[in-house]
Homo-oligomer: A and B are copies of this chain.
Amino acid sequence: MTQPAPVHASGVDNDRLSAQLRFVLETDKLKRILRRNLLVDGSRRENDAEHSWHLALTARVFAEYAPEGTDIDRVTELLLVHDIVEIDAGDTFIYDSAAVQDQVERERLAADRIFALLPADQAERVRTLWDEFEARETPEARFAKAVDRLAPMLANWHTDGGTWVQLGVSKGQVLEKVKIIAEGSQALGAYAASLIEDSERRGYFAG
């Protein structure tokens, strides 16, 4: 783990600040965790940190498609922390059923280690956010997850089918994953469905 510079700042609880710095430095590693999908211009694979930024921005742009009363600041917070566990657990490709099986356990262990770098009150807060995102029981978590699912579909459409073509994914498999988008946002679900129809016409799905 990366150790921060020794803290000697007056008027600050230096132990607390050191703990916060350890977390900030550790989360820098999210920039090196690669996802399967490419950037929209197809130039390279996307990493989790830039993905998280783009989701947080996209969620705000699409805020009007969330159910009325959804707290978009909470959605933003959920998206900022949702992938941090992948620093230890790695990115699990949603069509890799073997990896999906032990994903929950790997990510739980990662959460235990990484969030605990923070002072206890903040560790608990981040854990609560991550648990909320994963449970998908609040409108905020459902909307955040919807945006998280829509983003790689956009990237795939714009890179001639992207991971769908590369890994021979069928339309049925994609439709299964898309349910989660409609559960978070009716409008984004409808858009995702239209994107899939268009992708089928273009031959992006396996027989």
Q: B-contacting residues of A (Cβ < 8 Å)?
A: 2, 4-12, 17, 20-21, 23-25, 27-32, 39-41, 43, 46-47, 49-50, 52-54, 56-58, 60-62, 65, 73, 76-77, 80-81, 118, 122, 154, 157-158, 186-187, 190-191, 193-195, 197-198
Contacts and interface: CB of A to CB of B under 8 A. Distances in A.
Nearest to A47: B50
Contact of A57 (B50, B81, B194): B81
A175 to B, nearest CB: 15
Nearest to A150: B24
A61 B118 contact: yes
A118 B63 CA distance: 13
**Chain A residues touching B, majority SS:** helix
Given A20-B61, A187-B17, A56 B80 contact: yes
A28 B41 contact: yes
Contacts of A11: 186-187, 190
Contact of A198 (B6, B62, B77): B6
Q: How many copies does the complex hold?
A: 2
Contacts of A43: 32
Given A12-B65, A17-B187, A28-B54, 12 more contacts: A4-B154, A5-B157, A8-B194, A11-B186, A24-B58, A27-B57, A31-B39, A31-B46, A47-B50, A49-B53, A73-B76, A76-B77
Given A28-B39, A31-B54, A49-B50, A61 B6 contact: no
18 contacts: A5-B158, A7-B191, A9-B193, A10-B190, A12-B190, A17-B187, A17-B191, A25-B158, A27-B54, A29-B40, A31-B39, A31-B54, A32-B43, A50-B50, A53-B80, A60-B77, A73-B76, A76-B76
